[in-house]
Amino acid sequence: MTDQPKKTLQLRQKPAADKPAAPRAPVRPRGPARARPLAEVQAERAAREAAWAAQNPAGGERRPHPDADRGAPQDRRAGPANRGAARPGGAGGPGARAERPAAGGRSERYAPAGRPGAPAPRQRTDAPRDAAPRFQPDAPRPARAPRDLRPDPARVGKAKGQHLAPSPGSARPPEGVPPFLGRPGEQLIRLNKRMAELGLCSRREADEWIARGWVRVNGQPAVMGQPVPPDAQVEVLPQARHQQAGQVTILLHKPVGYVSGLPEDGHESAAVLIKPQSHWRDDRSGRRFEASHTRGLAPAGRLDIDSTGLLVLTQDGRIARTLIGEDAGVEKEYLVRVHWAPNGPKGVGVVTQDVQAAFPRERLALLRHGLSLDEQPLRPAQVDWQNPEQLRFVLTEGKKRQIRRMCEQVGLHVVGLKRIRIGRVVLGNLPVGQWRYLGADEQF
């Protein structure tokens, strides 16, 4: 068997070009574009106009149309030449059409210049093309008519959230927005605020219901931001009632180390404790836990990270308004363990036992009424001794760290704080870290 030579595949190299391609000339000189002066542009334009006027003297005869010698186009339509006679009314009647020239005839449009029936040629003038008046930047502008800067009384009221009904001669509301209800000059209020005042829902829920079309005012569908008078008839559709019936309110015995709202400074929110494992076994509400019950829970009231006790988490805006609204006056009861520290908790003279005997009585009266926080006087409070080292507070407001700051002003140092009641709902035997539902028969 003879050996056959091995074949190898070789790639041919592409021959190099004999001459390099010449660089393409730039469209304009290199470098940044330079704005030409206005005088230079105007001088160049005037030179062009003068050259054109020299080549085309005035009075020259206009060239005839290129189709002038060919004759008019043939009528390609079927039927008689005079179509107007076929229309009702006869020739010259209301339905008649203008007669067209016969085949081979010439119309005025196609007649050569200088012949009978031809239009007179237009005479050119020596006036430049830009003889029209131009915009003069330095010319004074015409004065504008004065505008009425007074606010619209239909949208601006005397107080926040209030409006005034417009006068009979005021402008109409925009399309899609119902007219303002009420008499001229009557104070109006936003619909969501009015619904919250009536106890129907919170303002946020009202906006959601209005957007879904579940609210009617005097029988008409409501719109977002609509102002209404106090005597307006507000109707809520059954869909909104059904959604509200599925909302829950949860009572939690918050332990120390959890914050009431969103997580902060590395501390978890108390809402993470709402899970089936921490549901109190003795809950008598009859509700069964669902995953949807943890969505949209909001704390209705503060409870500091160093405090424990009853914390309300709710999906119902009505309960949130009742507890923390602007005009809320629900009582909240606390048990507070204190030390007598007139020179601070690390100063001299700290008393930890039988604090009641060392604490001056006039300062106890100051705790009940007479203190201010953030330059605002506090409401009267009920403050009594529960035992020699523990006070009982009953407040109707809830400022940030209110009890601790009140005690600091009278020389007391808080070492323990527990909330045991909100309105008519008590903490009871609910264990620390566990929760239960608010019963249908319970109200704050």
The residues carrying an active-site annotation are: 304
Q: Is 199 left (phi over 0), alpha (psi -120 to 50) or beta?
A: left
Pair 104, 71: CB distance under 8 Å = yes
Q: Which residue has the tokens 């009617």?
A: 216
Is the sign of the CA dihedral 16, 20, 21, 26 positive or negative? positive
Q: What is the DSSP string of 398-417?
A: --TTHHHHHHHHTTEEEEEE
Rounded to whole angstroms, what are the CA distances from 398 to 72, 211, 315?
Answer: 98, 33, 20
Convert 162-193 to b/e letters by CB count within 10 Å (16 or more is b): ebbbbeeeeeeeeeeeeebbbeeeeebbbbbb
Q: Residue 254's closest CA among 222, 278, 282?
A: 278
410 token code pair: 């009278």
Rounded to whole angstroms, what are the CA distances from 397 to 74, 123, 334, 400, 423?
Answer: 99, 94, 12, 10, 12
Q: Which residue has the tokens 């505008």?
A: 147
